[in-house]
Amino acid sequence: MTSDNTITRAAIVTGASRGIGAAIAERLAADGFNLVIVYRSGKEAAEAVKSRCEAIRPGITVLAVSGDVSTEDGCKAIFEAAKNAFGRVDVLVNNAGQTKDGLAMRMSLTQFSEVIDINLTSAFMLSKLCLSLMTRQRKGRIINMSSVAGVYGNAGQVNYSASKAGLIGLTKSLAKEMGSRNITVNAVAPGFIETDMTASLSDDLKTAAVERIPLGRIGAASDVASVVAFLASDDASYVTGQVIEVSGGLVL
């Protein structure tokens, strides 16, 4: 966990209005980071996350910013909001993502491209913008939210798997480029995590999933947030270019 003086540090978390992104924002708030929580829609949910973060750590500043991370203008607006509010960006968590599942033979180019733009291209654009500040700070953390699907693939998700695999390549290349500037770049690859998406699955499907997990349970969003908090902290200053699976051993 970061020390009390980290209240001067600032983090951007995309896709932070619910699920894993919300859990990450709340954990970073607890660790004393000022925050820009980014959402595409669902203002009410984002404002609720903002309120929870402020209650967790009184004294921090939290901005809820609506933005389309799939566009260059949207990414620039998010970055400028953080820069204008805090003058710095210490941690960028590229968590925004979506799925548009389907078999490859039936998948349209639009289905493929939209997932790539939101899951992968946005991470490149926001990372590039934030690096302009991080290099001057001589310190920074970029954490990309990949998936076990990006490591091992998943039938019916060629677009999603490709985007998450692309994030791993982006992570490793940026880690090599930015290491000399004291900027670390890592990826987190969640497995089966309890979110709005998994909550809608049938009990039979959940039971089948748990049977494949050595730890015998579906993961919580807080399990992922804890790993992100470690990578954002000074304790992870010698960790870069890594892909950390948070899957309960799902793919062993």
Q: Which of 241, 101, 99 is nearest to 183 (CA)?
A: 241
Q: Which residues pair with 102 in a beta bridge?
A: 157
26 within 8 A of 56, measured Cβ to Cβ? yes
Q: 107 exposed, middle or buried (CB, 10 Å; 0-12, 13-18, 19+)?
A: middle
Does residue 152 have an active-site annotation?
A: no
> From CA 119, how far away is CA 18, in angstroms rounded?
16
115 within 8 A of 154, measured Cβ to Cβ? no
Q: 101 exposed, middle or buried (CB, 10 Å; 0-12, 13-18, 19+)?
A: middle
12 within 8 A of 82, measured Cβ to Cβ? yes
139 within 8 A of 165, measured Cβ to Cβ? no
Q: Which of 96, 157, 88, 161 is nearest to 123 (CA)?
A: 96
List the catalytic residue out of 39, 152, 160, 238.
Answer: 160
User: In Å, how far are 22, 144, 147, 171 from 166, measured between CA atoms?
Assistant: 23, 10, 11, 8
Q: Which of 81, 112, 107, 111 is nearest to 10 (CA)?
A: 81
Active site residues: 160
